[in-house]
Amino acid sequence: MENKNQQEHVHLLIIGSGPAGYTAAIYAARANLKPVLYQGIQPGGQLTITTEVENYPGYPEGIQGPEMMVDFEKQATRMGADIRYGLATSVDFSKQPYKVIIDEEKEITADAIIIATGASAKWLGIPSEQRLNGSGVSACAVCDGFFFRGKEVAIVGAGDTAAEEALYLSKMCSTVHMLVRRDEMRASKVMQDRVLKTSNIIVYWNSETDEVLGENKVEAVRIHNNKTGEKKEVPVSAFFVAIGHQPNSAIFKDYLELDDQDYIVTVPGSSRTSVEGVFACGDVQDKIYRQAVTAAGSGCMAALDAERYLSAKEHH
Ligand SMILES: Cc1cc2nc3c(=O)[nH]c(=O)nc-3n(C[C@H](O)[C@H](O)[C@H](O)COP(=O)(O)OP(=O)(O)OC[C@H]3O[C@@H](n4cnc5c(N)ncnc54)[C@H](O)[C@@H]3O)c2cc1C
């Protein structure tokens, strides 16, 4: 049995087991970097809470999210990555070798580190949103909009992402009901103008969601106007939540540069963070694309960056 209090030194440590972390592990193992990957509390990452994934290349018939992530894990294991269950609970990047504490007990030091801890969508926090999650409730219009082609849908949010997602949905859905809590949007002027000029987007100002209605799938949304108190049921087939994401970056904040929304800042065109030898990939450093394929692509970049960094260090 593993002694949890032991200290261990590893060549390359990968934190996170979504598409970014596993892809980094595949590349790093094949480059003989002997990667050790800690999975965190959600082995497989965000795709394990979805059903059908239709936009990941290589699966012509589509695939269930959890099944796809088992494939990723198997591939990383087959290449020789050491995949372990455990959560990074604190880090010390103040000097080399960098330290990462797992489950508040075990101390790992590493020559290089790849952070692939992802992000989580923010939800409104109403029970029906949880109950119908995956049955018409979604936090990703680009992922799930296609399933509601020609249908009426609702979207909650007022920022640039919400505006972008409403515009994206307006191209495939018959009507997009956009629910905005205040009497103005946070989105940039340009994005707001585009939304307001799109004939099949109806904006409901001062509107809040009481309940998503439907037994096994979304059938309507009940909203109320927070100025007049007026209640209304809007029949829709899907309910998209676009009120933001929270990157899982809290444990790194004292050491790495984060942006104003807590995303890890990477040098453009690379996975390099503000600390030499620490790389970041996937949704924890990407607030724009947030797709499995882009996360996987950036995981590949992180492994290649780490490989170059480690080999330069060895030849010094
Ligand atoms: C419901 C839903 C449906 C989606 N559908 C699609 C789709 O159809 N197509 C598509 O391309 N994208 C889809 N996405 C988006 C896609 O899931 C993400 O873009 C992708 O998973 C990001 O990958 P990632 O590797 O960066 O992080 P994540 O998948 O978020 O994984 C993060 C990993 O880090 C681990 N972790 C976090 N903190 C720690 C820690 N402290 N220590 C150790 N490990 C840690 C977690 O356990 C997890 O394994 C969907 C997302 C959701 C929520």
Q: Provide the residue type at 175 as one letter.
A: T
Q: Provide the residue type at 213 as one letter.
A: L
Counting other chains too, the contacts that 296-301 makes at CB distance below 8 Å and 24 or more residues apart are 296/19, 296/20, 296/22, 296/23, 297/23, 298/20, 298/271, 299/19, 299/20, 299/21, 299/22, 299/23, 299/24, 299/25, 299/27, 299/114, 299/116, 300/23, 300/24, 300/27, 301/270, 301/271
Q: Can you give the pLDDT at residue 4?
A: 52
pLDDT grade for 5, boundaries at 50, 70 and 90: low
Percentage above 70 pLDDT, the chain: 98
Q: Specify the range with the lowest mean pLDDT, choosing from 48-52, 214-218, 283-287.
A: 48-52
- Tens digit of each residue's pLDDT (9 = 90 or more) over 117-160: 999 999 999 999 999 998 999 999 999 999 999 999 999 999 98
pTM of structure: 0.89
Q: Where is 14: in which H helix or E strand?
A: strand 7-15
CA of 49 to the centre of ligand 1 (A): 9
CA of 161 to the centre of ligand 1 (A): 18
- Tens digit of each residue's pLDDT (9 = 90 or more) over 95-105: 999 999 999 99
Distance of alpha carbon 75 from alpha carbon 253, whole angstroms: 32
Q: Is the dihedral of CA 244, 249, 254, 257 positive or negative?
A: negative
Q: Is the CB of 302 under 6 A from ligand 1?
A: no
Most confident of 1-5, 33-37, 138-142: 33-37
Per-residue pLDDT at 59 exceeds 80:
yes
Per-residue pLDDT at 181 exceeds 60:
yes
**Same fold flag, 7-120+245-314 and 123-241:** yes
Report CA dihedral (73, 74, 78, 82) to the nearest 10 degrees. 40
Distance of alpha carbon 250 from alpha carbon 85, whole angstroms: 20
For 7-120+245-314, CATH number?
3.50.50.60
**CATH classification for the domain delimited by 123-241, as one of 3.40.1010.10, 3.40.190.10, 3.50.50.60, 3.30.230.10:** 3.50.50.60
**Residue 82 annotated as catalytic:** no
Q: Can you give the pLDDT at residue 147?
A: 95
Mean pLDDT of 52-62: 94
- Tens digit of each residue's pLDDT (9 = 90 or more) over 233-284: 999 999 999 999 999 999 999 999 999 999 999 999 999 999 999 999 999 9
Per-residue pLDDT at 37 exceeds 50:
yes
Q: Where in the chain are the domains?
A: 7-120+245-314, 123-241
188 vs 74, which has greater pLDDT?
A: 74
Percentage above 90 pLDDT, the chain: 92
Q: Can you give the pLDDT at residue 1?
A: 46
What are the residues facing 14 on neighbouring strands?
Answer: 37, 114
How far are the Cα atoms of 17, 117, 189 from residue 38, in angstroms, in the given order?
7, 10, 42
Q: Is the CB of 47 under 6 A from ligand 1?
A: yes
Average pLDDT, the chain: 95
Q: What is the DSSP string of 155-176?
A: EE--SHHHHHHHHHHHTTSSEE
Q: Is the CB of 63 under 6 A from ligand 1?
A: no
Q: Is the CB of 130 under 6 A from ligand 1?
A: no
